[in-house]
Amino acid sequence: MNWLLVLPLLAAAAPSSAGETISVCYNYGCLAQSEVHYGEEQLARVQALLGSARNAADEREKLSLAIGWLLGWAGRQTPIAADRGGNTADDGVYGRMDCIDHATTDTRLLRLLEARGWLRFHRVLEPVWRVLYLVQVHHAAQIEEMVQAEVAVDGRPTAGVGKPAWEATAEPARYVVDSWFGDNGQPALVIELQRWLDGQGDEVRLPAVAGGPGSAENVER
């Protein structure tokens, strides 16, 4: 057999690359979309971050940072690096994102994390929307907390041994994941659904730093 002829065929049949690819929305109302590829090294950092969460509250804090990382990395490959918090600081700028762009993209990112099994305390729901003062409509991604035994850093349960891995509560707590409030790459706002429906969010001060482990950058890109 002529291996010089076979090797190119084997290379063509192999998977093109590892990692994950999703589409991000921008220019308001998902008018434009671009594909973003996350490499395994980037995804491993996100996995390590979320994997260190010991409970649901801790996972929400780390999820806020993880969404910021993923959007910052997406800004390296797409125009969304120009996106600024709200809808006025980047008015007319190519790559700006409104709440529909953020809600759609955040949900896709959350689904990616969920599909990889990295969300141990929450499940992803469809985006939610609110209306304030009859005219102010705002959209955001949404997650729901699940009751689970306390988990140590090594992944072994520290309480509730023998119970089902997941148990839905009578009224599961829901939260929004909303990256619209901050500039590209900053941590996403994660807040109780009812507080968000009541109009809270604008007054929440987001951290100015979303750097990754060992990174001196102000924004993870």
Q: What is the pTM of this model?
A: 0.77
Residue 205, sorted as left (phi over 0), alpha (psi -120 to 50) or beta, turns out to be beta
Q: Which residue has the higher pLDDT, 203 or 134?
A: 134
Q: Which residue has the higher pLDDT, 172 or 156?
A: 172
In this structure, the strands spanning 136-145 and 122-132 are antiparallel
Contact 145, 172 (CB under 8 A): yes
Q: How confident is the model at residue 95 (pLDDT cuts 50, 70, 90)?
A: very high
* pLDDT average, residue stretch 181-199: 93
pLDDT beyond 60 at 193:
yes
d(CA 71, CA 42): 12
pLDDT beyond 70 at 82:
yes
Residue 153 has what pLDDT?
Answer: 53
Q: How confident is the model at residue 25 (pLDDT cuts 50, 70, 90)?
A: very high
13-22, 46-55, 195-204: least confident range: 13-22
Q: How confident is the model at residue 161 (pLDDT cuts 50, 70, 90)?
A: very low
Residue 168 has what pLDDT?
Answer: 47
Q: What is the pLDDT of residues 42-69, one digit of tens each?
A: 999 999 999 999 999 999 999 999 999 9
Among positive and negative, which fits the CA dihedral 71, 79, 18, 217?
A: negative
Chain-wide mean pLDDT for the chain? 81
* pLDDT average, residue stretch 162-184: 75
